[in-house]
Structures are given as structure tokens and as C-alpha cells.
A and B are shown apart, each in its own frame.
Chain A
């Protein structure tokens, strides 16, 4: 993180013989702005700063304050102490939900990456009409209600649903497989919802990759596999990191899909928070679960961006 150029402004003001015209130009235009700023601009800019206030006050009152209160309740409800965190660690219900959350979110992320990478590559390689059509296909689920899509999977995956009848007809299975109210249902439903969030960041990076790099590697004799792993994959790495972080973090907080498509063995943290708050009214335990969930999100961001940054600079 410290390897970048120290600061922009001093570099621009410094007199560098080789970049004379550039620095002089920058200096002059900066000077112009400064003259404007000090004279006529001041009052206008000061008024503008206040424009942030309405939105900021709303978010402090209806977002920061309630979330802060919920976090505080992990220590204060019903009495001050660590009892809520002890309950989470000691009771297998909570611990299992935590493990479930990490495993489900991790598997969904992996599936999305393995499926989304070739899809994003295809979109980046396609041109004109085909590309627009593929992007539209990715955006269709993006713009349709999560609830409706989960409902669709209930219909498709049920015992006498489309998938089971197709597999029976083709002789792949002898009896219908249960695919809803268990892990399969959760994974299918979540991958369907989160796949666009993997494909779009990947596509955004891939579309800017210069095709001549891989052509150069190929003409220098690199076999396709080596070419991919040594040239294309590192170039697309920022997209991989962004998509992975996005999908994993979103998966951690999932609530609707596991509740509708999952079984008793697939309970995730978000569902427990809901139960503790609306059914049991145990705000302390809900607060402690919130702390754990937020920590997981923060650790993911810190970890994956640390992994992502050095590699993206290679």
C-alpha cells in the first residue's frame, strides 16, 4: 500500500526538467482554481458543505443509532456482562448456525466463481448483439424480485418438478431426488441470486484486458493453460477479488433463500437474528449474533483485499 507515489500535489508543483510542460501546466491551472477559490468561491463552497447534513442526520438517526444500539445490547441486555457471547459459544444451535453460514456462503462463492468466470469471459469476448444479449441475461434475475425467484425454484425443484421429471425421463435417477428444504435448494437458490454479483465485476475487469498480451504469450510459445494461468488470470485478478468479496459478504447475511429453500440443518445466522428478535424478544443474543456477523464481514473485507492488492500489482 505504501509503494505508490507519495502525494500528487507536491509532485506536480516540483520543477522537473523532463516533464517541464506538464508540471507547469498543472501548476498554472491549479493556480487559477486557487484564485477563484479564495475570492468568489468561499461563500458558495461553505453553503454547499451543509448540503450533506439532511442525508447525514437521517442516516445517523435511522441507521447508525439503531445499529449501535443493537450492538450495545449484546453487552447490556438483560444485564451488563458477557453472558450473551457465552451463550453463543456454549449452545450448539448458535455455533452450528455460524459454521453453516461460513460453509454455505463459502460454497456459494466458489460455485459462483467457477461458473461466473467462464461466463464473464464469454461476455467480454462476444461482440455487439451477442454481448448485449448475454448482459441482458445476467441482468434479468438482477431486476426480478428475490422472493419470486425463490418461489420459482420451489416449483422447479419440487418432487414432481421440472428437474426431477427430466432426470427420471432421461434415466439419470430411479426415484425423484429431494432438492428443496435441504442444502441443494439453498445452494441453487443462492447461486442464482448472487451469480450476477460475481459476473459483473469480473466482466468489468475482463473487458479492459488488452487481447495482445495473450496473443504475445501464445506467439512466444506459451501453451494455452500456461498462457491462461500466467497471463490472463493475473490480469483479471482484481475482478476475481471484487466478485469474491461481494458474493461472500452478501451470502453471510442471507435470510430469505435459506428460510424458504433450506431445511432445519441449513439455519444461518441471519435467520437466528430474526427469530431472536421477532419471536423470542431476546435482544441481547440478537445483538451478540449481530456483532459476530459484522465481524465476519469486516474480516472478509480486510483479508480478501489484503490478498487481492499485492497480486493485482504484479
Chain B
């Protein structure tokens, strides 16, 4: 044993302690939200005196929450699909096309990730005022697509990098039209990337608050905006019930993504490359 091993053990102990404390710090709030959502108390207390489903009953009995949940679904589904289509097309163009100013175009497409959301929110709110899009479904879909397209572009670009371009060249020289090359060769190979982009886009859109806060109206607001006004007003555990449901949704999507990725890896076409 070297003389330094004692300090080493000491540092190791400290590091493991920090790690355990941080894991508790990271996970505890979500666990507490889940527990509170089943609370029988009328106000926020932890631990709850006993368990009940009253907040879920209240949630599904309140038209304001139901409307906002419906609004969220109306926004999330088209946003995910539009973002996936536009993002995949853009990634194909960027990866395989001869484009002048490729770096600038990539920069523009990725910018919504870098620019603080509050700036995007204020700017879109200003533009939508003149276009009369505030508080409308098309407005929400446009705004959320802008926020989510970069994620689709980057996931599809990443999976395109794994695809050998020579497959496409071979098919093209054998006389296949570009569309056939796309849906017979490229599409099956990049499908996992596209779908994980779609799921990413849907989760981000579902969880988006800042832009939605600016462009929503009292009659059309997604669930996050409803939660925001709830937290600002009199706080009751209904929001914990919503939070638990949102968290379950995210976990489900995460699980789906993992399953798809596994399926993608074992797909025969990818196996050959």
C-alpha cells in the first residue's frame, strides 16, 4: 500500500457521498410531486396525511384543465409531424445537396436552440400581433415548429452520417428515380433518427411554456400556460396531478424511443452497413 492510498480512500468517500446527495437532489422533487398528487389534504403538505385520488378527479372534472389538455394535444401532434417533415427534408438537403452558404443555413436552422427563448417569445408575439396569429392554433403550430425543427435536423443529420452515401449512388446509377432512392433506401435507414426527432419535438412542444405564455389567449391555452396561472394563483395539488401525468408521458416517450433505437439497430439494413 502506498502512503497516498489513505487520502485516496478519503477522496473516494467524499465523491461517493456527493454523488448520492446529488442523485437525491435531482430525483426527490419529482418523487415528491408524484406523492403529493395522491394527497388527501386540502393544501400542500408533505408527507400527506393519507392517500386519495381527489386531485385527479378535480383535474378531469374541471373544464379549464380539460380544454387546456385538448389544446396541448391539438398543438403537439401537428407540430411534431410538421417539424419532422421539414427537419428531415432540411437535413437531407444539408447532408447530400450542393448548397451555397451551407454553414449560414445550418446556423439559421440551429439558431432557436442558442437564442434565449424569452427573445424568441417576445419577437414572435410582436410579429403575430400584426399577422393576427396570437391565440390561434396555426400560430402555435408555427411557433412550436420553429422551436423544435433544430432538434429534428440534428437527430436526422446524425443518422444520415451513419448511412453510406454509396448505396444511394449505386441505386441512382442503376436508374432508380430520386424518390424511389429515398423511400426504398434512405428512409428505412434514417427512420430511427426521424422518429426520435419526432418524439423529441413532441415532448419539447408539450413542455413549452415561455413562447406559449406570450402567444396564448384566455380562450386558447395549452396545459403549461394553465399550470402557470395555477401556480401564480392559489396553489393546490391539482398541478401535482398534472405534473405526474406529464412526467408519465415523458417516460413513455423515452421508453418508446429506447425500444425504437433497439429495433433500429437490429434492423437488417443497418446491420449490413
Q: Which residues of A contact B (CB under 8 A)?
A: 33, 36, 39-41, 43-56, 58-60, 62-67, 69-70, 73, 115, 118-119, 121-122, 134, 137-141, 143-156, 158, 160-162, 192, 195-196, 218, 223-224, 249-250, 252-253, 255-256, 260, 270, 273-274, 277-278, 283, 286, 290, 293-294, 297
Pair A277/B90 contact, Cβ less than 8 Å: no
Smallest Cβ-Cβ distance to A139: which chain B residue: B254
Stretch at the interface among B62-70, B189-197, B227-235: B227-235
Instruction: Known A66-B123, A140-B27, A143-B203; judge A148-B33 contact (CB<8 A).
Output: yes
Contact with A along B155-191 (1 / 0, CB 8 A): 0000000000100010011000010010000000000
Pair B116/A293 contact, Cβ less than 8 Å: yes
Q: Which residues of B contact A (CB under 8 A)?
A: 4, 7-8, 11, 14-16, 18-19, 22-23, 25-30, 32-33, 36, 44-46, 86-87, 89-90, 92-94, 96-99, 105, 108-109, 111-112, 114-127, 142-143, 145-146, 149, 153, 165, 169, 172-173, 178, 181, 203, 207, 209-210, 214, 224, 227-228, 231-232, 235, 239-240, 242-243, 246-247, 250-251, 254
Mostly helix, strand, loop or mixed at chain A's interface? helix
Pair B146/A152 contact, Cβ less than 8 Å: no
Residues of A within 8 A of B207 (CB): 145-146
Residues of A within 8 A of B146 (CB): 58-59, 62-63
Pair B111/A145 contact, Cβ less than 8 Å: no
Mostly helix, strand, loop or mixed at chain B's interface? helix
Pair B46/A156 contact, Cβ less than 8 Å: yes
Instruction: Known A36-B173, A255-B118; judge A148-B127 contact (CB<8 A).
Output: no
Pair B123/A253 contact, Cβ less than 8 Å: no
Pair A119/B22 contact, Cβ less than 8 Å: yes
Q: Which of A45, A58, A70, A146 interacts with B209 by CB under 8 Å? A: A146
Residues of B within 8 A of A260 (CB): 231-232
Pair A278/B214 contact, Cβ less than 8 Å: yes
Q: How far is the CB of A54 from chain B (nearest CB, A)?
A: 5
